[in-house]
Amino acid sequence: MNLLMLSGDNSVVRGKQRAFHNTLSEFSNYWDRIDILTHRVRGVARHDCLENVTFYPSPWGKMMQSYYVWKKGRALAARRRYDLIVSHDYGFFLHGIGARWLSQASGVPYVSEIHHVDGYPRGANLRERLKPVLTRQYVRGAMSRALGFRITNAGELWPLLRSWGVPAKQLFLLYSLYLDFDVFRPENTALEYDAIFVGRLMPNKAPFLFLEGIAAAARKREGLRVLIIGAGPLGTRLQARAAELGPAASVEFRDWVAAPGELADMYRRSRCLICTSFSEGGPRVVAEALACGVPVISTRVGLAGELVQDGVNGFSIDWSADDVAARLEQIIAVPELRARMALVAPRSVQRFEKSRVIREYAHGYHHLTAT
């Protein structure tokens, strides 16, 4: 069976062995051939990866991507029979538009993958608040042409797309999150931080809400120790705000942690992970922390609503600094509560073992092509 994939992730072509490469290394075992059309990488027209995966970067800028998908996809389909086209869709949905054109021209069915909706359930600014409107227009236009939509969580995307009129039979729940349990696992580690924040310092991650929650908690309990791991455009302003807390809270910043094992250790050295995001595709950090036996305080975004069991392995919160502070105080003040949460936390993510997730992903598409 042959698969044609449309993806904006060109990290593999740029020599980066990140999440996409790790997924392909196992996902490719379920296909005879995977060809991937992606965004431009200067000087590269073709990149062979693994034994049966080839990337074809566009020679043009991103706004020409729909045309490139149609043109290059037709040329590839003339030489090789594809069973399915899979489009990773977000932003201006240029791949999704190209997939529709290509499917009509080639007769190959396509699936649109919606991993998350920018600005939903909450937009960090006006631009983000408009993005769900654009996504809804795309989804409603694609409904009559695509086989359906792959979604990666049941708690947020399923009810949202159903409310937009997508029939249940066109929604395929196939998780994308997976974990390496050899790395992300519980260990007996001395606690150094009261809370940890991990993520890009971007508006949708709401790092200022996290910091305001710490400030509210510090008014009742001085001497808090907090770690923020991440970099981004809000970094300078965030550090300035953290400095204003003075001795009430010590906030340590690290741009990033490259090695997964080191990141896992940072989780384990923290009493809890706090995720204050407005919108998310994962959030992966929530699952990683739980796998390490670390309770999580999180807003109900993406997969977090399914992973965080309120009062069992962490707390679900609204977008409120007072909520952040109250739940953090609970975890610090009641060590027995944290210990119980830490014990059950890893069990809540066991279904996200890598081989299982990728096998279900591949078999889901095999089933589609057989019906």
The pLDDT tens digits of the residues spanning 308-336 come to 999 999 999 999 999 999 999 999 999 99
Q: Which two tokens stand for residue 79?
A: 């030489």
Q: Which two tokens stand for residue 294?
A: 């670390």
**What sign has the CA pseudo-torsion 59, 63, 67, 68?**
positive
Cα separation, 251 vs 223, whole angstroms: 10
CB atoms within 10 A of CB 353: 14
Q: How confident is the model at residue 352 (pLDDT cuts 50, 70, 90)?
A: very high
Q: What's the pTM value of the predicted model, to 2 decimals?
A: 0.95
What structural domains does the chain harbor?
Answer: 2-178+353-370 (3.40.50.2000), 195-350 (3.40.50.2000)
Assess contact for 274 and 226: CB atoms under 8 A. Answer: no
Cα separation, 318 vs 339, whole angstroms: 24
Q: Which residue has the tokens 């992606």?
A: 38
CB atoms within 10 A of CB 135: 23
CA distances for 89 relative to 94, 110, 111, 142, 155, angstroms: 8, 12, 10, 11, 19
Question: Mean of the per-residue pLDDT values for the chain?
Answer: 96
* pLDDT recorded at residue 281: 87
Chain segment 35-65, per-residue pLDDT in tens: 999 999 999 999 999 999 999 999 999 999 9
3-state secondary structure of 97: helix
* pLDDT recorded at residue 17: 84
* pLDDT recorded at residue 192: 97
Q: How confident is the model at residue 6 (pLDDT cuts 50, 70, 90)?
A: very high
Amino acid at 347: R
Give, for 330, the enclosing helix (H) or strand (E).
helix 321-333
CB atoms within 10 A of CB 258: 7
Q: Please state the φ and ψ torsions of residue 47, each to the nearest 5 degrees.
A: -140, 115
Residue 57 region by backbone torsions, left for phi larger than 0, else alpha for psi between -120 and 50, else beta? beta
Residue 166 predicted with pLDDT over 90: yes
